[in-house]
Amino acid sequence: MRNPFVKKIQTSKGYYLYDVNTNHILKVPEVIYTIIEDLGILSHQDIINKYSIYFDTARIVQGMEKIRRTQQEGLLLHKRPEQVRLSLGERRRELSLSSIALEVTENCNLHCGYCLYCSKDYPTFREHSKKNMSLQNGYKAIDFFARYCSPDSENLIIGFYGGEPVLNLPLIKELVSYSKRKLDYQRLRFTLTSNGTLLIPSVLDYLVEEDFLLTLSLDGPEAVHDRMRVKKDDYTGTFRDVMAVLDYLQKNHPAFFNQNLSFSTVLAPPFDFEELDNFFSRFPIRVLPSMMEYNDNISRKQRITAPGWDKLKTKFREKIRDHQWGRDYRNRGGSFLFSLFVPGLKKFVKRNLEVSPFPNIFKNSFGFCYPGEERLFIDSEGQIYLCEKVDGNGIGILGDLETGIDWHKVDLFLDLLEEHEYNTCQSCWLIRLCSICPARILFNNQISSSKIAFNCQNGRELFAELLQMYCEIMEEDEELLDFLI
């Protein structure tokens, strides 16, 4: 294609072009905004003929001339890559870990409606079982981490994962004690992700004593949470169990409640954004929302259209306009609202403007995690994965605790990702800002074109809205988003 590689953005106050080649955002006259996509496709005379009902000829000619001069300055070029490749640079043969996640059990006492390990919609994932990590494998996992942890990491993090990890609490306690003897205690931190139903006061007191970072599963108010998060034995809801945990911690361990807690929230259609925000704004706790995992039974429209979205956009704008937020947004109950908009807006705030037009073959890491750098996941049987998100894809197994990392398997995994032709990326306006996670594109040990299409379409639609919001915020005050720098 010969027309400029741009994304058009219109606000109530102006017209903008996001220049994909250079990451610049240009404010332009209406005539340039209107004709830009035909430039290089139609002749100048055909452009004049096509748009003469909207603008007089002189304005159209002036607009085309302005585009020509801008292109001479290296902006608004038509250049698109002929191929897009994932590239993680030179292959490494060393580990440098700052965290590991341990699957201490495959067992769980819940049967959540969207769980990858419960639903037949995800046939490549294992089912819940009563299999626990053995004490021997637990020791080996800690020894492995001690051997390959980074000397430069500020914190060394050991996460306990399930299933429901509290079902194997004796192992957790033993590994906490063992790790204190094996690793630099001053840098050591423990994390636990739990559904909250087994966190009785004595367990919570232990987590507080060991200064755990605790992530609780909480999807929203009772009717929302209990629609999906139900107990395996009688299918009753678990909302009140989680509320009991929060009540106990707030009354008995307020510092832990305010500083060590976070919520893992799954957005499962149907839901209402405003209802969720009203609920989570009660808590000075970090909210980590994620969309229900893709499967063929969930339409894209269900995933991206939900009531309350526009109201939250307005609320977010009001909060930053009135300088009600800074970096202490969480303490003001703003975490859920913050999490919906800020990660995307931050990409525009921090975008690199020192880039050159695309080469014929565009290589990018797309924010991908290199195997063995920073984190790994170890399952209950001692198999080592890139992370817990690729559990269920055999191609993501990089070795085991008996033999260590199998670098041949690492190469096969990287070859799969790097040799794939990402054919839909060449003309995608989000290409410079896109992040790829293997969990979002792998299915049955292969790269799934349907998963890529699904997640890319969602991403483009979301970021188009965020780009418009960014331009609107910059129109008001260019310093309003400085707290994200």
State yes or no: pLDDT of 287 exceeds 70: yes
Q: Is residue 90 part of a domain?
A: no
Same domain, 434 and 362: yes
Residue with tokens 């931050």: 346
More confident site: 485 or 77: 77
Helix axis angle for 169-182 and 135-148, nearest 10°, is: 30
User: Looking at residue 327, what is its pLDDT?
Assistant: 57
CA-based angle 47:48:51, to the nearest 5?
80
SS (H, E, C) the chain: CCCCCEEEEECCCCEEEEECCCCCEEEECHHHHHHHHHECCECHHHHHHHHCCCCCHHHHHHHHHHHHHHHHCCCCCCCCCCEEEECCCCCCCCCEEEEEEEECECCCCECCCCCCCCCCCCCCCCCCCCCECCHHHHHHHHHHHHHHECCCCCCEEEEEECCCHHHHHHHHHHHHHHHHHHCCHHHEEEEEEECCCCCCHHHHHHHHHCCCEEEEECCCCHHHHHHHCEECCCCCECHHHHHHHHHHHHHHCHHHHHHCEEEEEEECCCCCHHHHHHHHCCCCCEEEEEECCCCCCCCHHHHHCCCCHHHHHHHHHHHHHCCCCCCCHHHHCCHHHHHHHHHHHHHHHCCCCCCCCCCCEEEECCCCCCCCEEEEEECCCCEEECCHHHCCCHHHEEEECCCEECHHHHHHHHHHHHHCCCCCCCCCCCCCCCCCCHHHHEECCEECHHHHHHHHHHHHHHHHHHHHHHHHHHHHCCCCCHHHC
Q: Report CA torsion sign: 271, 272, 278, 281.
A: positive
Share of the chain above pLDDT 90, in %: 67
How do residues 224-236 score in pLDDT, each as one tens digit? 999 999 999 999 9
State yes or no: pLDDT of 303 exceeds 50: no
Take residue 266 and report the two structure tokens written for it: 């799954």
Across residues 86-114, what is the average pLDDT? 92
More confident site: 311 or 354: 311
Q: What CATH number is attached to the domain comprising 329?
A: 3.20.20.70
User: Looking at residue 392, what is its pLDDT?
Assistant: 65
Same domain, 118 and 32: no
Residues 268/274/276/282 CA torsion (nearest 10 deg)? 170
State yes or no: pLDDT of 437 exceeds 50: yes
Q: Is residue 298 part of a domain?
A: yes
User: Looking at residue 125, what is its pLDDT?
Assistant: 59
User: Looking at residue 88, what is its pLDDT?
Assistant: 85
Count of structural domains, the chain: 2
Q: Report CA torsion sign: 217, 222, 224, 229.
A: positive
Same domain, 73 and 184: no
**Among 15, 49, 79, residue at a domain's last position:** 79
**Among 25, 47, 79, residue at a domain's last position:** 79
Q: Is residue 284 part of a domain?
A: yes
Residue type for position 221: P
State yes or no: pLDDT of 456 exceeds 90: no
Q: Is residue 1 part of a domain?
A: no
State yes or no: pLDDT of 293 exceeds 60: no
Q: Are 124 and 443 in contact (CB under 8 A)?
A: yes
State yes or no: pLDDT of 302 exceeds 50: no
Where residue 144 falls among pLDDT bands split at 50, 70, 90?
Answer: very high
55-64, 82-91, 197-206, 345-354: least confidently modelled range: 82-91
State yes or no: pLDDT of 294 exceeds 50: no
Take residue 460 and report the two structure tokens written for it: 């483009």
CA distances from 438 to 136, 158, 286, 355 (A): 30, 22, 25, 26
Across residues 472-483, what is the average pLDDT? 92
Q: Are strands 96-103 and 83-86 parallel, antiparallel or unpaired?
A: unpaired
Q: Are strands 383-385 and 156-161 parallel, antiparallel or unpaired?
A: unpaired
| Nearest in space to 400 (alpha carbons), one of 425, 387, 413, 381 | 381
User: Looking at residue 326, what is its pLDDT?
Assistant: 59
Q: How far apart are the first and last CA of the chain?
A: 35
Same domain, 99 and 50: no
Q: Is residue 135 part of a domain?
A: yes
Q: Is residue 104 part of a domain?
A: yes
Same domain, 48 and 115: no
More confident site: 339 or 331: 339
State yes or no: pLDDT of 90 exceeds 70: yes
Same domain, 10 and 107: no
42-56, 221-235, 250-264, 355-369: least confidently modelled range: 355-369
Same domain, 121 and 60: no
User: Looking at residue 30, what is its pLDDT?
Assistant: 98
Q: Report CA torsion sign: 466, 470, 473, 475.
A: negative
Same domain, 389 and 290: yes
Q: Is residue 87 part of a domain?
A: no
Share of the chain above pLDDT 70, in %: 92
Same domain, 11 and 145: no
**Among 49, 79, 109, residue at a domain's last position:** 79
Q: Write out the residue range of the structural domain in which residue 106 sits.
A: 95-485
Same domain, 122 and 183: yes
Q: Is residue 56 part of a domain?
A: yes
Same domain, 74 and 131: no
User: Looking at residue 124, what is its pLDDT?
Assistant: 55
Across residues 90-104, what is the average pLDDT? 94
Mean pLDDT of the chain: 90
Q: Are 11 and 468 in contact (CB under 8 A)?
A: yes
State yes or no: pLDDT of 252 exceeds 90: yes
Same domain, 69 and 112: no
